[in-house]
Structure 1
Amino acid sequence: MSASPAHVPASDRLAKPDTANDLVAAVWPASADREDDGIVRIGGVPVTELKERFGTPLYVLDETEVRARARRTRAAFDAAAAEHGTTAEVYYAGKAFLSTEVVRWVTQEGLAVDVSTGGELAVALAAGTDPVRIGFHGNNKSTAEISRAVEVGVGSIVIDSDAEIARVAEAAAARGIVQSVRLRVNSGVHAETHDFLATAHEDQKFGFPLARAVEVVGRIRELPSLRFDGLHCHIGSQIFGVAGFRESAARLVEVHAQLLSGGPVPVLNLGGGFGIAYTSADDPTPIEELADGIVGAVAGECAERGIALPSLAVEPGRSIVGPAGVTLYEVGTVKPVQATDELRRLYVSVDGGMSDNARPALYGAQYSARVVSRASDAEPALARVVGKHCESGDIVVEAEYLPGDVAPGDLLAVPATGAYCFSLASNYNYIPRPPVVAVAEGSARVIVRGESIDDLLARDAGISSTEGTE
């Protein structure tokens, strides 16, 4: 397989631009624009106002963008399913970004919610989500988490291991109910993505080998407190194109057809992992093309075997919330570095880093950046945006052309940070996690409060509650 765009070295991706002011439309929220004063506005709110009101680092989430992407995704799969005479359910994958406000946005736009821990379940419930529209997966759900999921009446629990069959059955029997379950299987399709993001190959922690599906489903069907609802598969994340989904569909439908001889198989869940643009080099597949390709592939496989097309489910997260997010930083230092005899670049240090965006350190994720508090006529200069942590790998943007006059005090923004940045945030080096601010139609409000150093010290049991923190 060829390398995905995420694996292309930054030095090969970048071409020196005429100006370092332009905002690449595919990477930024649709509402982001640079006004005549040079200041970028997101959701109609100037970034300078956001800095003044909320400080930096700051996660900024465009509510209008999230809602529009949720609606567009739902419409795409509804239309594709209807064309083939079936229905589709879109679950928002909460692991990408979860807060009560975001859950309300996506459920109001018609999406169900996918969770994988008791904490994520608690957030979805606190947002007022109908439990029937919650799916619960994960490779090591505790008995307490399973019990809670059964108690509140989640719509489906994804069975990920042999041990979970008995655990879910016992929890359901104890409450005198029949719990709908799905079986997570590995189709063996290797998505074109980073190894850490590929989740359907055989040598990994999730699910069952496809060859065991008939046997395991037979065991589930023997238990009166369980109702088998269908197969579940997820081939990876940040995937471009439909080829992997087509191949996975072919393998899943073959097993789906075998399972029909033992009873109904109402749903086939093909997971998510739809890619987005992080840089101008990325060319994500439009959601309508993905929906048509995925549903069409399943329909074709079913027709070939002479079986009815089941209801379909997908679980996008990144493609809903990722492009709606921008992280705002303040530049602290700028250091020219002669990297090699031929390569000179600026090291631009910002007031955040791997604590608010772990993805570059985890798997070399690429991002872009812009100075957003002013426009500049300076010659673009090759730069590396780095954080303030005590790690040489604390890189926010590996390579980007920024104005050659970038200076301390400038506001710098990194787009496409709505997914897996807040979710993976930490307190490394005792740095408080930033707040999350939603913007829409010229207004801004906090939807997740940030932390202070006092908050971090309050957790330290070695500090007396009567002592000050000065």
Structure 2
Amino acid sequence: MDKFATARDAALKLRPDVPVYCFRPHVLQQDARRFMSAFPGKTAYAVKTNGEPLVIKTLVDAGVDCFDVASPAEFAAVRRYSATAELLYMHPVKALSDIRLALDHYRIRTLVVDHEDEIAKVLRVCRALDIDQTTVTIFVRIATKGQAAYELSKKFGAAPGHAVELLQRLHRIGFPTGICFHVGSQIEEAGTYERALASADWVRNRADVPLAGLDVGGGFPAAYGHNPKSRAPAAPPLDDLMTDLRQALAEWEFDTIPLVAEPGRVIVARAFSLIVRVLLRKGRRLYINDGIWASLSDSWTGKITLPARFIPDPNIRRRNGDPSAIVPFKVCGATCDSVDILTRPFYLPETIDTGDWIEIGNIGAYSLSLRSRFNGFYPDTFVEVEEPFDAGGAPEGTASLETMAD
């Protein structure tokens, strides 16, 4: 992998016509260690957030020894770099064959359920493999709602009364049991966790069974920008959030049992930025070589405000407009699909033109995981960059700030 001091150096040296991911391994390790030192329990990195081999290897090298995995491909991705890391199979709905693979081949001993049929699947595999049920811990996921960019209780999670029944059934069978929840992705207020803990306490008291642990899921926010026109509050800083979470855990008396967290964004977001090139400027429209089917699904949904830095092509001698003016541009992706238009604009210098580059910061979470091969476009070029995106001068603009008419 080529190495550069800054993304600007990479753009001007390589002059790329394809998107380029700028990877900062030291930032990834720093953010992982910061989270692990702040959370009062086990840190299980959520592989779905970014499961690139270079990410997994860097995290293992940083001392991460527990991973939240959801599929055989994710089992294998972790095992490729660590034979000893603990794998937590935290997908609530699983194929019977995948459960068998997890328990037999990968020796996974922590799973999650939110329905009695999932319990039956796990029990069936344990009996077929002659696995002692007391060695397999099963968490029951409860449905919770919180203030977050992406709400994650529409699809998974048992209602509190149902969760009580599931815990009691697991206890009768002989499985060690725990409670878990997921308050959403990129939470917007610290009280979200306290409300989830209140629900978990209600379930715990009525189930009245020993708990092997509490998994507080993910949701820990990454440091993006904040849309001043949004009614949602800015995401709380991690240090403040952890202080509030520790207090809430103590108040609800969950601080005496083993704790697990499944962070994703907060660990990997800052580790990557993305260099894209302007293929065409058409008035206030920019056609770039990435888009919603590649790295920019977060900007497409309009949930995330990303910082953007202008990298002008020095070969463009004459420019139009005021170089100090920051104006909104409608952004169109590279594919031939007319849906491939971001719902919100990029705010960039008025002088930007065909051939210039844009560095989009804090793109490490989900951008790589969700990119596709649609139309034959697939960003897969990586360079290593030394300087963090937020070092030096402030970005000139933002990506995805407010609604803009055609």
- Equivalent AA in structure 2 for residue 193 of structure 1: A
Check whether the contact 2:275–2:359 (CA below 8 A) recurs between aligned residues.
yes
After TM superposition, the runs of 4+ consecutive aligned structure 1 residues lying more than 6 A away are: none
Question: Is 2:293 the partner of 1:355?
Answer: yes
Which residues of structure 2 form unaligned runs of 5+?
A: 229-233, 388-406
- Cα displacement string for residues 194-226 of structure 1 (whole angstroms, at most 9, x for unaligned residues): 5xx2123xxx221211112221112212334xx
Which of 356, 365, 379 does residue 434 from structure 1 map onto? 379
Over 3 Å counting, the alpha-carbon distance change for 1:187 and 1:355 in structure 2 is closer
Aligned pairs, how many?
A: 367
> TM-score, structure 1 length as denominator?
0.72
For 1:395, what is the secondary structure of its paired residue? Answer: coil
Question: Which residue of structure 2 aligns with residue 46 of structure 1?
Answer: 10
Which residues of structure 1 form unaligned runs of 5+?
A: 1-38, 82-87, 337-345, 443-470
Which of 179, 188, 207 does residue 240 from structure 1 map onto? 188
Question: Which residue of structure 1 aligns with residue 176 of structure 2?
Answer: 228
Deviates more, 1:377-386 or 1:407-416: 377-386
> How much has 1:143 moved relative to structure 2?
1.1
- Cα displacement string for residues 86-120 of structure 1 (whole angstroms, at most 9, x for unaligned residues): xx011111111002321222233333110111211
- Equivalent residues in 2 for 1:35-184, closer than 5 Å: 41-42=6-7, 46-51=10-15, 56-77=18-39, 81=40, 88-111=41-64, 112-131=66-85, 133-151=86-104, 152-178=106-132, 179-184=135-140
Over 3 Å counting, the alpha-carbon distance change for 1:365 and 1:290 in structure 2 is closer
Question: Is 2:141 the partner of 1:191?
Answer: no
Check whether the contact 1:354–1:389 (CA below 8 A) recurs between aligned residues.
no
> How much has 1:177 moved relative to structure 2?
2.2
Question: Which residue of structure 2 aligns with residue 256 of structure 1?
Answer: 204
Between the aligned partners of 1:424 and 1:221, the Cα distance in structure 2 is: 38
- Equivalent AA in structure 2 for residue 191 of structure 1: G
Question: Is 2:259 the partner of 1:312?
Answer: yes
Between the aligned partners of 1:281 and 1:40, the Cα distance in structure 2 is: 30
Over 3 Å counting, the alpha-carbon distance change for 1:97 and 1:237 in structure 2 is same
> How much has 1:438 moved relative to structure 2?
5.0
Check whether the contact 1:138–1:160 (CA below 8 A) recurs between aligned residues.
no
Which of 215, 224, 235 does residue 165 from structure 2 map onto? 215
> How much has 1:441 moved relative to structure 2?
4.1
Question: Which residue of structure 2 aligns with residue 462 of structure 1?
Answer: none
> How much has 1:410 moved relative to structure 2?
1.0
- Equivalent residues in 2 for 1:286-435, closer than 5 Å: 286-302=237-253, 309-336=256-283, 346-356=284-294, 357-362=296-301, 365-373=304-312, 378-380=323-325, 381-396=327-342, 398-428=344-374, 430-435=375-380
> How much has 1:40 moved relative to structure 2?
8.4
- Equivalent AA in structure 1 for residue 147 of structure 2: E
- Cα displacement string for residues 313-338 of structure 1 (whole angstroms, at most 9, x for unaligned residues): 111101111122211111111111xx
Q: Percent identity?
A: 24
Check whether the contact 2:307–2:360 (CA below 8 A) recurs between aligned residues.
yes
Over the aligned positions, Cα root-mean-square deviation in angstroms equals 2.6
Check whether the contact 2:312–2:352 (CA below 8 A) recurs between aligned residues.
no
